[in-house]
Amino acid sequence: MRVVYSPAHLAHDVVTETVMGAVIPANEVPERAERIRTALEADGGFPIEAPTEHGTDPILAVHDPGLVRFIDEAWQAARAQSLDRPNLIADTFPNVRMFEGMSPEFQAGRPETHGAAGRAGWWGLDTANPLVAGTAGAARAAVDVALTVADLVLGGEHAAYGLCRPPGHHAARSMAGGYCFFNNAAIAAHALTRASAERVAILDVDYHHGNGTQQIFWRRGDVLYVSLHADPDRQYPYFLGRADETGEGEGSGANLNIPLPAGTTDDPYLAALDRGLAAIADTPGEVLVVSLGFDTYGHDPIGDFALTTAVYHECGRRTAALGRRLVILQEGGYHRPSLGANARAWLRGAEGRPYEPLPATGFGERGSDR
Contact positions vs Zn ion (CB under 5 A): 206-208, 293, 295, 332
Question: Nearer to Zn ion by C-beta: 233 or 356?
Answer: 233
Query: Nearest to residue 34, comparing CAs of 12, 2, 10, 50?
Result: 10
Alpha-carbon distance of 151 to 154, in angstroms, equals: 5
The minimum distance between CB 166 and Zn ion, in angstroms, equals 12
Closer of 32 and 190 to Zn ion (Cβ): 32
Q: Which is nearer to Zn ion, 193 or 296 (CB)?
A: 296
Catalytic residue among 63, 169, 170, 313: 170
- Determine whether 209 is an active site residue: no
Q: Judged by CB, which is closer to Zn ion: 241, or 251?
A: 241
Task: Give the number of C-alpha atoms closer than 13 A to the C-alpha of residue 156, restricted to the C-beta side.
Answer: 0
Least separation in angstroms between residue 302's CB and Zn ion is 7
Q: What residue is closest to Zn ion based on CB? A: 332
Q: Answer for the pair 172, 215: CB distance below 8 angstroms, yes or no.
A: yes
3-state class (DSSP) for residue 206:
coil
**What is the distance between the alpha carbons of residues 228 and 276, in angstroms, rounded to a whole number?**
8
What is the smallest separation between the CB atom of 131 and Zn ion, expressed in angstroms? 19
Residue 369 CB, nearest distance to Zn ion (Å)?
A: 19
Q: How far apart are CA 63 and CA 367, in angstroms?
A: 39
Residue number, 58 or 332, with CB nearest to Zn ion: 332
CA distance linking residue 92 with residue 88, whole number of Å: 12
Least gap, CB of 153 to Zn ion (angstroms): 24
Q: How far is the CB of 178 from Zn ion (least distance, A)?
A: 7
Closest CB to Zn ion among residues 162, 332 = 332
Look at residue 259 and give its three-state secondary structure: strand
Positive or negative torsion for Cα 112, 130, 333, 364: positive
Helical ranges in the chain per DSSP H:
30-43, 57-60, 65-80, 104-108, 116-122, 135-154, 184-196, 211-217, 266-281, 309-320, 336-351
**Pairwise CA distance, residues 332 & 128, whole Å:** 13
Report, as residue numbers or ranges, the catalytic residues: 170
